[in-house]
Structure 1
């Protein structure tokens, strides 16, 4: 496969924006649990509109920390989106709980509320919807079903910083929302995550568990009050991410501008569907994803686009199709909507400052590839 000269994403990080703060960190000698991590948490909490933010080493550890803070474990069921990167499911398994996969809606990548309702049981402790590609799930419907079941909602908002649904910004839905700052996310620090919550007591337990289960004991040392984890984010990645949060509105405007150019030029293209936001919803466009018709070989399209030096890739995975989860009795095809999306979703390049010429190159090349069948 040839190297793409138009990749799927280029991280929107500028050295001149971080140089001074990095020098401050290196001069201080404090490389973790320092002021930049605290400022990063405050800035994201202020943007999202919640009171508490707890930075972690990844969205995976953020999700695991959120489950641990609720003491989810053996005998519990966690109902989660099937169409997601498997980290969402893996953290459930790591707690000892049972993952119960929920299909996508027929025309929506996110969790189908009616499928969710049909799977609720007396063992349901947590509902964990995903905001795929920065597209907020139907959190009002999902939250109502979870409330009826007496279950907590933890949102895998890994991709959706900057998104909004029903006048609530992503990260503020549910009891907790968990962000990712992986290189393909709207804001990146290489690897990083964050748990958002409006509950200060819950945030206190999250912070305790994040730092080995420790609290200040009043003297020079710590008191270890329960077994915990080392999920603390360092100061260097905090500096990187903070530099982007400071101009997050600008970043989101740029991504939405590019998405609009794609929408205008791809709508009506034979062989694909362009998903659109529902009413009262804004997408963050972590990725720009279309769905190819069933007669097309998505993987061949990816290879053909690569030959034209344009990076494309899959959307994400239908977890129930993978051997890691077969012990719970899943077989390929159990969840047909997520299975279809896993096979037919195609991610197109969305890079900072993408030009009209670049968008048109992607669109025209994709149309030509689709015509070859």
Structure 2
């Protein structure tokens, strides 16, 4: 059943009795915390991504924080990140007492511009953390080459990118480690939850300890060898994830088909640029984000779409424009023009498997009306 709200929601998870029955079985078992269902979910995601290790965590944000800690990021260190991302990317850095160094994006892909990465690295840099914006992987080859030359780990913020590929390889397997999100707006959901993936055995050992209070389980009880966290995912959430993984191919195929249809419908709409997918990439289309011409008042378009019963939102945030980051860190606005533009002009349209062609036609029809009604941006 689709929840009440706008005629066309921004996203609706694909859920049915499979998820409900999976949760019921966990409740009947009496084993509710991290256990056999979490382990099964980890195995399924590791197999999908193509890594030897996967660790279920309570959210992608805790996954990023945990992995940065395990990589040795400490107070005063720097982590290079794109400026255009949900603030959780930077929050995970700040929560360790480290400093996020914001890099501008390629406006064509919304991803970190590899040409700007090396100039952002200093002697204090301890990691590079590209984001796979909206489900399109960052250009990982040049980023990894810089990191390898400088001896730095690379952590993929792959929150949106389950099923995305880069030259035949899955997101989450493209660097030192990757982190996925299972928030309800993502490709699959556990309600709240995340997953860390890696092929690095030493890092995996560290993650395993830190995730569960810094503990190593002995024959009779646990020894606490570090000050860790409680970042585990419960079997209740993992059971939902297992059921969702059974739908992953269906969800992926539907998003690909609908994204292609929506792109065709938008091809002749003036002032709207559909998502760009470079050769060799597969976009997961977790979000379908268009870029409006600069003379269009994007915020007014969102309001006008809401009046027309279509839910939309901004793409994501230029973090240097947010009050916390702007107030705390010295940021050169002139170095981040593309992220600033994307913050102001990117628009997320509805896209999820339950939509029909008629819904897509309605979205585009209403978008054209909303652009006409919104008028030019105020100077």
Higher mean Cα deviation, 56-65 or 196-205? 196-205
Query: In the aligned structure 2, how far is the partner of 1:367 from the partner of 1:20?
Result: 43
1:334 CA displacement: 3.9
Q: Secondary structure at the match of 2:173?
A: coil
Q: Deviations over 1:156-178 (max 9, x none)?
A: 00000010011110111110000
TM-score (norm 1): 0.97
Aligned to 1:368: 369
Aligned to 2:6: 4
Give runs of aligned pairs for residues 193-342 of structure 1, distance below 5 A. Answer: 193-219=194-220, 221-326=221-326, 327-330=328-331, 332-342=333-343
Query: In the aligned structure 2, how far is the partner of 1:205 from the partner of 1:332?
Result: 38
Query: In the aligned structure 2, how far is the partner of 1:335 from the partner of 1:38?
Result: 42
Query: In the aligned structure 2, how far is the partner of 1:337 from the partner of 1:18?
Result: 41
Mapped contact 1:184–1:286 kept (Cα < 8 A): yes
Q: Deviations over 1:77-97 (max 9, x none)?
A: 100011000010011011111
Mapped contact 1:321–1:331 kept (Cα < 8 A): no
Query: In the aligned structure 2, how far is the partner of 1:131 from the partner of 1:57?
Result: 20
Query: In the aligned structure 2, how far is the partner of 1:267 from the partner of 1:11?
Result: 27
Mapped contact 2:107–2:342 kept (Cα < 8 A): no
Query: In the aligned structure 2, how far is the partner of 1:91 from the partner of 1:158?
Result: 13
Q: Secondary structure at the match of 2:216?
A: strand
Aligned to 1:163: 164
Any gaps of 5 or more consecutive residues in structure 1?
A: none
Give runs of aligned pairs for residues 21-60 of structure 1, distance below 5 A. Answer: 21-60=22-61
Mapped contact 1:129–1:154 kept (Cα < 8 A): yes
Higher mean Cα deviation, 343-352 or 326-335? 326-335
Q: RMSD of the alignment, in Å? A: 1.3
- Report the CA distance shift for 1:106/1:27 in structure 2 as closer, same or farther (over 3 A): closer
Higher mean Cα deviation, 279-288 or 120-129? 120-129
Query: In the aligned structure 1, how far is the partner of 2:90 from the partner of 2:40?
Result: 31
Any gaps of 5 or more consecutive residues in structure 2?
A: none
Mapped contact 2:109–2:277 kept (Cα < 8 A): no
Mapped contact 1:333–1:339 kept (Cα < 8 A): no
Query: In the aligned structure 2, how far is the partner of 1:193 from the partner of 1:103?
Result: 26
1:73 CA displacement: 0.7
TM-score (norm 2): 0.95
Aligned to 2:189: 188
Mapped contact 1:134–1:283 kept (Cα < 8 A): yes
- Report the CA distance shift for 1:304/1:333 in structure 2 as closer, same or farther (over 3 A): farther
